[in-house]
Each structure stands twice: as structure tokens, then as C-alpha cells.
Amino acid sequence: EAGVTQSPTHLIKTRGQQATLRCSPISGHTSVYWYQQALGLGLQFLLWYDEGEERNRGNFPPRFSGRQFPNYSSELNVNALELEDSALYLCASSSDRARTEAFFGQGTRLTVV
Amino acid sequence: SQQGEEDPQALSIQEGENATMNCSYKTSINNLQWYRQNSGRGLVHLILIRSNEREKHSGRLRVTLDTSKKSSSLLITASRAADTASYFCATDAKGGGNKLTFGTGTQLKVEL
């Protein structure tokens, strides 16, 4: 069974541009979570989607947004990129909103230059 | 801010020895999970322990939870070089909206 898959693996963008990161959850999982792992800041919760709805949001500015599609895959969009957005972005999925046992993908390494 | 704080920050042991990592947290939790991360890549889920459980085993892993002290420990027995990684605890706080709050991590190095 395939795990959580993320694309692209690496992404290099220029400051001010937009980045789109994609995540496919484990088959049968309805909840998708996004986390940011920036150097020196540890793993920070970004967003939680379940059944197509945003259920919770971390302490990030509105230029971090996303959505979940009917097939439960998800996109994370980061607008007006700043140098500090350089980080590993991790997606996780769980089987339903009541379960937080989350399984992570390999991440997308975003570098903003 | 990080709710979980792992101790030690770094640990270096010889293959075959046991490794113990500790995690402290601040709020009431539904569960606590341990993850492993190799070389800044994805997180591997190791074990979940619920707030009403005190101890859980999975292979060479043993996790304990003391909710009165708001602390957990992860013991890896008979360590192998392949266990070299960063280990994180993550808490699901009551009323936290399914958000996992991660600790700062312990870097484990197992030497041959």
C-alpha cells in the first residue's frame, strides 16, 4: 500500500513568487495535515483538512493557504514568498478526524532565493 | 512555541546499547506519539500511547507515559547503526483541534 506522497521533492522559488505543494494521502484516509519544519524552529502545525473543509489552522499568515479535493488529496499554496519560508514542508494523513495517528510523507524542500 | 521538550538534545551510544529519550509537555493530552526522522526527510511514525495507557511496546521500542508528571520516555533496546536519526515526541492536546505539537527532538547517533 502506498504511503503519503508529496510533490515536488524540491522546489526553488524567487522571493515574491507563489509556490504550490501537493500531497496525496494514504488510500482511505480523509484527513490531511500540513507542517512546516524550518531550521531552528522545529515542526510547526500549518493546516488540517478533513472531508474537503479546513478544520484547524496554525499561527501562520493568510498567504499560507490550501485546499482539499474530493479525492482527499491536498494542495498547500504559499503566496508572496519570503526568504523565511524556506523549509521542509511535510504532509501527513490520518484515517478520520477522530484519529490523530498521523503518517507523514517525505516532504517538499522549498528554497526561496 | 514547542510544547514538548526532549531530553537529551543529542545522544551518542555504541551499537547494542540501549537508548533512552525523554519528553516533557505542558497541557492535558489525548495521546502522545513518537516519530523518527532520518536526515531531514519525512517522519516515520513509531508508536502512539493514549492518555489512559502507561506503557506500550513495539518490537525493540518501549514507551512509557506519566500524565501526572506530563512526561514520556522512549527506550530503544539493543540499538543498531540504522537507528541513527532524530526522534520527536508529538502531543495531541485536549481541545487542540487535532493539531500535533512537536518537541525539539533528540539526535541519536549509534556508532559501530
pLDDT digits 0-9 by tens, A78-113: 999 999 999 999 999 998 767 778 999 999 999 999
In chain B, which residue's Cα lies nearest the Cα of A89?
B42
A56: nearest CB among B41, B43, B98: B98
Q: What is the dihedral of CA B5, A3, B60, B98, to 10 degrees?
A: 40
B68 touches chain A (CB under 8 A): no
B41: nearest CB among A43, A97, A107: A107
Percent pLDDT > 90 in chain B is: 82
How far away is chain A from the Cα of B69, in angstroms, using its nearest Cα? 22
Please report which confidence band the pLDDT of residue A10 belongs to, taking 50, 70 and 90 as the band edges: very high
Chain A contact set for B99 (CB, 8 A): 45, 48, 56, 58
Please report which confidence band the pLDDT of residue B3 belongs to, taking 50, 70 and 90 as the band edges: low
How far away is chain A from the Cα of B64, in angstroms, using its nearest Cα? 17
pLDDT tens digits for range A56-74: 999 999 999 999 999 999 9
Chain B contact set for A105 (CB, 8 A): 42
A104 touches chain B (CB under 8 A): yes
Mean pLDDT for all residues in chain A: 94
What pLDDT, on a 0 to 100 scale, did the predictor assign at position B5? 80
Mutation site for A-interface testing, chosen from B48, B100, B102 by largest number of A Cβ within 10 Å = B100
Per-residue CA distances from B83 to A34, A36, B13, B26, B44 (Å): 26, 24, 11, 28, 12
Average pLDDT value for residue range A42-65: 95
What pLDDT, on a 0 to 100 scale, did the predictor assign at position B1? 34
- Is the pLDDT at A13 greater than 90? The verdict is yes
- Is the pLDDT at A42 greater than 90? The verdict is no
In chain A, which residue's Cα lies nearest the Cα of B40?
A88
| The dihedral sign for the CA sequence A24, A5, B97, A54 | negative
pLDDT tens digits for range B19-69: 999 999 999 999 999 999 998 789 999 999 999 999 999 999 999 999 999
Q: Please indicate whether, in this complex, the C-beta atoms of B100 and A90 are within 8 angstroms of each other.
A: no
What pLDDT, on a 0 to 100 scale, did the predictor assign at position A1? 64
* Rounded distance between C-alpha atoms, residue A83 and residue A110, angstroms: 10
Chain B contact set for A90 (CB, 8 A): 42-43
